[in-house]
């Protein structure tokens, strides 16, 4: 009876798709395409995410939820493309990214989230590391024609960066330094030559690092907090963000 109720709950809350393609983009980043008839006509705003049900099958839903930004969606494909970052270790999210294979079935909810571009902004500032660059790629493609975009994307090394549209974001490498509480990213944002007035900032990635970037923009550059949009994807030691 309990299993039947759980199945009904899953059917109401989640879509079901199948991994149809996997591509290793960098040493730790993998593109996973998920397709299926249930994805036809999916509504998505660039920057939004889906929550995948991953794990060993334990728990009331048969797994745990982990969040992944959508890299791309085209109704003609009936598929979404996600890019996951393998942090290492045996956490549910990292394990799924590492082991995803064509033919695997996966349940996930519909695209959600308010971390999307504000097209009326005078300019757009992006800052984050590898996990943030997935959302940034989709958001950059969605900017109005002629919009100004700038910012910083951090990665472990030069070969770990995704190719992002526009070319307006500075690439920096932390070279073995921790991604959590990254001083590399904060200092790189501090060195940006920005226009006199604030635009809209989009900060994503490791939670404590984006808090530090926001503190710099608000405390040192005089930005209003409402113009700084944040999306924490992960942080060490916090359940549900691993």
Mean pLDDT of 178-205: 94
Class of CATH domain 124-234 = alpha beta
pLDDT at residue number 116:
97
| Alpha-carbon separation of residue 163 from 15, 26, 132, 153, 185 (angstroms) | 29, 11, 13, 11, 18
Q: Does domain 2-108 have CATH number 2.40.30.10?
A: yes
Would you tell me how many other CB atoms lie within 10 Å of the CB of residue 85? 25
* pTM, to two decimals: 0.91
Place 91 in a pLDDT band, splitting at 50, 70 and 90.
confident
- Side-chain half-sphere CA neighbours of 221 within 13 A: 26
Residue 168: what pLDDT?
Answer: 85
Q: What is the mean pLDDT of the chain?
A: 90
* Polymer length of the chain: 242
**Structure confidence at residue 57 (pLDDT):** 63
Q: Where are the domains of the chain?
A: 2-108, 124-234
Q: How many CA atoms lie within 13 A of 35 on its CB side?
A: 12
Mean pLDDT, range 185-195, rounded to an integer: 96
pLDDT for the residue numbered 218:
96
């Amino acid at each position: 009876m309990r299993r039947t109720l759980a199945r009904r709950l899953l059917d109401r809350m989640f879509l079901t798709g199948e991994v149809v393609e996997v591509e290793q983009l960098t040493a730790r980043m993998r593109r996973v395409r998920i397709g299926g008839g249930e994805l036809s006509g999916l509504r998505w705003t660039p920057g939004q995410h889906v929550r995948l049900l991953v794990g060993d099958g334990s728990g009331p839903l048969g797994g745990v939820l982990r969040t992944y930004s959508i890299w791309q969606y085209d109704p003609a494909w009936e598929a979404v493309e996600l890019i996951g970052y393998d942090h290492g270790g045996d956490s549910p999210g990292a394990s799924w990214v590492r082991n995803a294979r064509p033919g695997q079935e996966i349940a996930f909810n519909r695209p959600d989230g308010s971390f999307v571009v504000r097209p009326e902004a005078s300019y757009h500032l992006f800052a984050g590391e590898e996990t943030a660059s997935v959302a940034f790629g989709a958001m950059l493609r969605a900017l109005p024609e002629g919009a100004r975009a700038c910012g910083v994307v951090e990665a472990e090394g030069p070969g770990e960066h995704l190719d992002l549209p526009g070319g307006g974001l500075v690439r920096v490498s932390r070279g073995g330094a921790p991604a959590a509480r990254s001083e590399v990213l904060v200092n790189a944002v501090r060195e940006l030559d920005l226009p006199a007035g604030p635009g809209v900032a989009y900060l994503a990635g490791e939670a404590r690092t984006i808090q530090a970037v926001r503190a710099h923009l608000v405390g040192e550059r005089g930005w209003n907090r409402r113009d700084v949009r944040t999306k924490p994807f992960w942080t060490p030691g916090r359940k549900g963000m691993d």
